[in-house]
Amino acid sequence: MLPILRVNRNIRTIRRYRTILGVLIKYGFGHFIEQLNIDYYLELGKRIISLGKADKAIERLTQPQRLRMAMEELGPTFIKLGQLLSTRADILPAPYINEFRKLQDKVPAVPTIEIRKHLQDELGAPVDELFAEFRSTPIATASIAQVHLGRLHSGEQVAFKVRRPGIVQTIETDIDILTGLAYLIEQHIEGAKIYNPSGLVNEFRRTITRELNFNLEGRTVERFAANFAEDATVYIPKVFWKFSRETILTMEYIPGIKISELEELRRRGYDLKEIASRGADNFLKQILEHGLFHGDPHPGNLFILPDHVICMLDYGMVGRLGYDLKEQLINLLQALLARDVDSIISQLLYSGELTDDSDLKSLRRDLDEFIDDYYEILLQDIKAGKLLADFIEILVHHHIHLSPDLMLLAKALVTMEGVGRQLDPEFNMIAHLRPFMERIVRERLSPGHMSRDFLKVANAYGALARNLPRDIKEFLNRLNRNQFKIDLEHRGLDRLATDMDRSSNRVSFALIIGSLIVGSSLIIQTDKGPMLFGLPLLGLVGYLIAGLLGLWLAVGILRSGRL
C-alpha cells in the first residue's frame, strides 16, 4: 500500500471528496476518476463514489466547457485555480485557456449583519462608532471577499474589502484534496509528470495564501504608490492601516470613470489615444523598471481620473520579477525584436525548463519558421498578443515551461494591448516597447552598469573561492568517517508496488474462494448435519458464499479494465 498521507481522511474531507468527484462525474469525467483508483487509496470499506454517466445535454458540450462548468459549481477554490491556469498557456491548450478566462465568481453576498459583526470583532468597536457611514449593500461580491462603501469620521470616502467568513477553512480543505489528486495523477496518468501537477498545486497554494492575507495586499499597494510617487500620470489609492487587518482592507474610494466606458470618456472631453499611450507606458514601467506589475489589468480594474490620470484597483494578483528574471525577460525580448534565433534558444536553455522530450533541432526549425512569419511585417504592424500567442504555442509543443510570473506577464500584456486597441484602433504595444528596450541597452553599456556587473561577478567568484577549501575539507572528512551518502531515487516503482499489492490481494481472495469450494464439496460428501433439498446445509452455504465472493471479484476485475 502506497503511503499516501497526502490524502486527508477526516470525515469533512471525505465528504468534500464525494462532492468533488460527484461533480466531475456529472460533467463527464468519470473515466478520469476511475483511472486514479481513489477508493483504493482512501482504504474505505465501500466505494465513496458511484461511477455514472453525464447528462446527454452536458455530453454535447466540449471538454473544456464541461471542465469550466464543473469548476464553477465546485466553488471558490476551483474558480481561483481555473483563473490561475488561464495564465499558463505553456501548459494548457488554447481551448482550455479561453474557457478558464470565462470563470466568474457567482456567489451571493454575505448578510450585512455578519459583515458588521466581523468588522466589530476585528477592529474592536461597533461599526457605527468607527465610521461616519457604512453602506449595507456591497458594490462587489466575490468568492473570497466583498466590498462595501463608507466614510470615515475625518471625511474620506473609503471602500472596505472584507474576507468572507469561513472561506479559509474551505480553501485549505480543497487544497489538501488537490494535493492528493495531483499525486494520484502523477502516479496513474501517463505523461502527466511533464506538467508537474504537484508543482502547480504548490504554486496555487502560495498564490491563494497571499491573496487571502489583505495585509500583504495593502503592502503591495504601498509599493506601487512608492514606485509611482514621482509619476503624475498614475494614481494609487491610499491604504488606511488603522482600519485594516489580515481579513479587512480599507482603502481610499476613487470615483473615476471605467476605462471601458468610451462614450462617457468622449463626452467629458478625454483624449482616448493619450489614455492608451499612458496606460502602455505605465505598464511597461511596472515590468521593465520596477519588476512589480499588476497581474489583472482588465477594464474593471482601471479607472480614469481628471487630467487623464490612470488609477489601478485590486492588487490581489500581482507579478514579481526579481533581478535575474527581469534580465532574462529583457534578453528574450531583445532576441525577439532582433529576430535572433540563436539568442532565443540560448535564453530558453537558460531560463526555461527543457525536458528530456525536447528536440533542439526541431525547436530551432520551429523558431526559424516563427521568425520568417514575422520577418516581412513591419514592427509597428506586429500585434504583441498574436506574437506572444504564437511564441508560447512553440513552447507548449516542445514542453518548455517558463516561470509562472512570466506567463502571468504574458496574459497581462495581452489584456493591456486589448484595452489599448479599444481606446485607439491604431494602438501598438511594440511601438511603446522599443524606446524602453533602447534605453535599457544604453544603460547596460554605461560604465556604471558594467562596473556593477563586474563587481557582482567578482563577489560571486570570491565567495566561491572562500568556501571551496571548507567544502573540500568537509567532503574529505565525511569520506574518512564513512558518512558520505548518495541519495538515489527510484522512479516508476510506485505504480509497480500498487499493481503488485492489488494482484496479491486478488490472489489471496481467489485462494479463499477456492478453499470455500473445496471445503463445501467435502461437506457435501459427508451427508451429515442439517439438510436442505437433500444436501448438507453447511455445504450449500459455503457454495453460496464462494459464488458471491467470486462474482464480486469478477466485477472488480472487469471494472478495473484489466483482465
Q: What is the mean pLDDT of the chain?
A: 81
Predicted pLDDT of residue 263: 92
Work out the pLDDT band at 496, boundaries 50, 70, 90: low
Q: Which residues pair with 303 in a beta bridge?
A: 258, 311
Q: Is the pLDDT of residue 29 over 70?
A: yes
Task: Name residues whose C-beta falls within 8 Å of residue 208's C-beta, 6 or more positions apart in sequence.
Answer: 77, 80, 171, 175
Predicted pLDDT of residue 46: 44
Task: Give pLDDT tens digits for 160-180.
Answer: 999 998 899 889 889 988 888
- What are the backbone angles phi and psi of residue 140, rounded to the nearest 5°? -155, 140
Predicted pLDDT of residue 85: 84
Which range has the worst mean pLDDT, 86-95, 243-252, 422-431?
A: 86-95
Predicted pLDDT of residue 7: 45
Q: How far apart are CA 382 and CA 396, in angstroms?
A: 22
Name the range with the highest mean pLDDT among 220-224, 253-257, 456-460: 220-224
Predicted pLDDT of residue 153: 94
Question: Per-residue pLDDT averaged across 86-92, rounded?
Answer: 77
Q: Tell me the pairing of strands 157-163 and 145-151.
A: antiparallel
Question: Per-residue pLDDT averaged across 288-313, rounded?
Answer: 90
Please report which helix (H) or strand (E) contains residue 269, including its range.
none
Q: Is the pLDDT of residue 4 over 50?
A: no
Terminal C-alpha separation, the chain: 21
The HSE-up count of residue 153 (CA atoms within 13 Å, CB side) is: 7
Structural domain boundaries in the chain: 108-141+144-253, 257-439, 446-485, 493-560
Q: Is the pLDDT of residue 491 over 70?
A: no
Task: Give pLDDT tens digits for 471-484.
Answer: 788 878 877 777 66
Task: Name residues whose C-beta falls within 8 Å of residue 454's C-beta, 6 or more positions apart in sequence.
Answer: none
Q: Is the pLDDT of residue 524 over 90?
A: no
Radius of gyration of the chain (CA): 31
Predicted pLDDT of residue 490: 62
Q: How far apart are CA 514 and CA 323, in angstroms?
A: 69
Chain length of the chain: 563
Question: Per-residue pLDDT averaged across 71-99, rounded?
Answer: 84
- The answer to whether 52 and 15 have CB atoms below 8 angstroms apart is no
Query: Is residue 296 flagged as an active site residue?
Result: yes
Q: Is the pLDDT of residue 374 over 50?
A: yes
From 90, 174, 176, 296, active-site residue: 296
Question: Per-residue pLDDT averaged across 47-70, rounded?
Answer: 73
Predicted pLDDT of residue 272: 94
CB atoms within 10 A of CB 110: 19
Question: Per-residue pLDDT averaged across 257-263, rounded?
Answer: 91
Q: Which of 436, 206, 191, 207 is nearest to 329 (CA)?
A: 436
Q: How far apart are CA 554 and CA 317, in angstroms?
A: 52
Predicted pLDDT of residue 132: 95
Predicted pLDDT of residue 96: 87
Question: Per-residue pLDDT averaged across 260-285, rounded?
Answer: 92
- The answer to whether 134 and 157 have CB atoms below 8 angstroms apart is no
- Written as nine digits, the cell of 524 is 457435501
Q: Is the pLDDT of residue 416 over 50?
A: yes
User: Cα angle vertex 390, ends 384, 394, to 5°?
Assistant: 140
Ordered DSSP codes for 18-38: HHHHHHHHHTT-HHHHHHTTH
- The answer to whether 319 and 402 have CB atoms below 8 angstroms apart is no
Predicted pLDDT of residue 147: 93
Predicted pLDDT of residue 327: 81
Handedness of CA 285, 352, 393, 361 (dihedral sign): positive
Task: Name residues whose C-beta falls within 8 Å of residue 542's C-beta, 6 or more positions apart in sequence.
Answer: 516, 517, 519, 520, 523
Task: Name residues whose C-beta falls within 8 Å of residue 250's C-beta, 6 or more positions apart in sequence.
Answer: 158, 159, 160, 161, 239, 240, 242, 243, 244
Predicted pLDDT of residue 3: 40
Q: Give the rounded percent of residues in the chain with a pLDDT score beyond 70.
A: 84
Cα torsion 27, 200, 396, 399 to 10°: value is -120
Predicted pLDDT of residue 235: 95
How many helices (H) and strands (E) are present in the chain, helices listed first?
Answer: 23, 13
Global pTM exceeds 0.85: no
CA-based diameter of the chain, in Å?
107
Predicted pLDDT of residue 275: 94
Q: How far apart are CA 67 and CA 73, in angstroms?
A: 10
Predicted pLDDT of residue 438: 82
Predicted pLDDT of residue 45: 39
Work out the pLDDT band at 2, boundaries 50, 70, 90: very low
Task: Give pLDDT tens digits for 126-143.
Answer: 999 999 999 999 998 888
Predicted pLDDT of residue 244: 95
Name the range with the highest mean pLDDT among 201-205, 380-384, 408-412, 524-528: 201-205
- What are the backbone angles phi and psi of residue 151, rounded to the nearest 5°? -145, 135
One-letter amino acid for residue 434 of the chain? R
Task: Name residues whose C-beta falls within 8 Å of residue 8's C-beta, 6 or more positions apart in sequence.
Answer: 173, 176, 177, 180
The HSE-up count of residue 108 (CA atoms within 13 Å, CB side) is: 3
Question: Per-residue pLDDT averaged across 111-124, rounded?
Answer: 93
